[in-house]
Amino acid sequence: MTWDERYQAYLGLIEPALSGAFGASRGFEFDGLLDAMDYSLTAGGKRIRPVLVLEFARLNGLEPEKALPVACAVEMLHTYSLIHDDLPCMDNDDLRRGKPTNHKVFGESTAVLAGDALQAEAFGAILRSGLPAEARARCAEILAGAAGVDGICGGQFMDLAAEGHALTAEELSALQARKTGALLAGACMLGAAAALADGAAVELAGRYGSELGAAFQIRDDMLDVTSTEAELGKPIGSDKRESKSTFMSLYGEEKCARMVERITASACESVAGMDADGFLTELAKRLAARRK
Phi-psi region of 24 (alpha: psi -120 to 50; beta: other; left: phi over 0): beta
Q: Which of 153-157, 184-188, 248-252 holds the top average pLDDT?
A: 184-188
pLDDT surpasses 70 at 103: yes
Q: What is the pLDDT of residue 162?
A: 87
Q: Which fold has domain 3-288?
A: Farnesyl Diphosphate Synthase (1.10.600)
pLDDT surpasses 80 at 188: yes
For residue 7, give the nearest of 65, 40, 68, 52 by alpha carbon.
52
> Within 13 A of 36's CA, how many CA atoms are on the CB side?
25
Average the pLDDT over each of 26-30, 80-84, 124-128, 280-284 and give the range with the smallest value.
26-30
Enter the pTM of the model.
0.93
Q: What is the pLDDT of residue 273?
A: 94
Q: Which residue would you say has higher pLDDT here, 231 or 105?
A: 105
pLDDT surpasses 70 at 231: no
Mean pLDDT confidence for 250-279: 96
Mean pLDDT confidence for 137-161: 95
Q: What is the pLDDT of residue 85?
A: 93
Mean pLDDT confidence for 213-225: 93
Are the C-beta atoms of residues 76 and 50 closer than 8 Å to each other?
A: no
In this structure, which amino acid lies at residue 25? S
Average the pLDDT over each of 10-14, 142-146, 164-168, 233-237 and give the range with the smallest value.
233-237
Alpha-carbon distance values, 285 to 26, 108, 248, 263, 269 (Å): 43, 37, 20, 10, 12
Rounded CA Rg of the chain: 18
Q: What is the pLDDT of residue 265?
A: 97
pLDDT surpasses 90 at 91: no
Mean pLDDT confidence for 8-29: 84
% of the chain with per-residue pLDDT over 70: 91
Domain boundaries, the chain: 3-288
Average the pLDDT over each of 25-34, 58-67, 77-86, 276-285 and give the range with the smallest value.
25-34
Are the C-beta atoms of residues 178 and 150 closer than 8 Å to each other?
A: yes
Residues with Cβ within 8 Å of residue 256, at least 6 apart in sequence:
218, 219, 221, 222, 247, 248
In whole angstroms, what is the distance from residue 8 CA to residue 269 CA? 25
pLDDT surpasses 80 at 234: no
